[in-house]
Amino acid sequence: MTSGPISLSRRHVLGDLYSRCDVITSSVPVYLNSVDGEMLGHVDQGLGHYADAFSFHLADDICKKLSAGFFTYAFDYKYAEEPTVAGQRRKVELVAICLIARQNYERPVARSTRAVG
């Protein structure tokens, strides 16, 4: 099922959550659509302490789709600790990552076609 990992930047995957997310110390499960969906594999930070990337360990076909941008990300997380400074946002710890398939773009109907009907 699993193949060689695909590595993506943490900033690319996490987006706005990047500055608040703690480093992953073990593997985190990856699901399709939701935590209740099919488990596709796992993700870790296996490139070393200083590498700021996630390594996704998934099947070949899913890796190809992920690298081509066919998925968006959703996260299941828990709050780590209380902020030490007033006004600081709470740190989070990832529990799971969900890959959400992008919807196909539907072309708008041309004006000439709408006028005929």
Each residue of 56-72: pLDDT tens digit? 999 999 999 998 889 99
Confidence of residue 2 (pLDDT cuts 50, 70, 90): very low
Whether 49 is covered by a domain: the verdict is: yes
Whether the pLDDT of residue 88 is over 90: the answer is no
Whether 90 is covered by a domain: the verdict is: yes
SS3 12: helix
Residue type at 21? C
pLDDT of 94 reads 92
DSSP 8-state secondary structure symbol assigned to residue 36: T
Count of domains in the chain?
A: 1
pLDDT of 90 reads 82
Whether 65 is covered by a domain: the verdict is: yes
Domain of residue 83 covers: 6-116
Residue, of 80 and 16, whose pLDDT is higher: 16
Q: Backbone dihedral region of 37: left (phi > 0), alpha (psi from -120 to 50 degrees) or beta?
A: beta
Whether 54 is covered by a domain: the verdict is: yes
Whether 1 is covered by a domain: the verdict is: no
Phi, psi of 93 (to 5 degrees): -120, 125
The answer to whether the CB of 116 falls within 8 A of the CB of 86 is: no
pLDDT of 115 reads 60
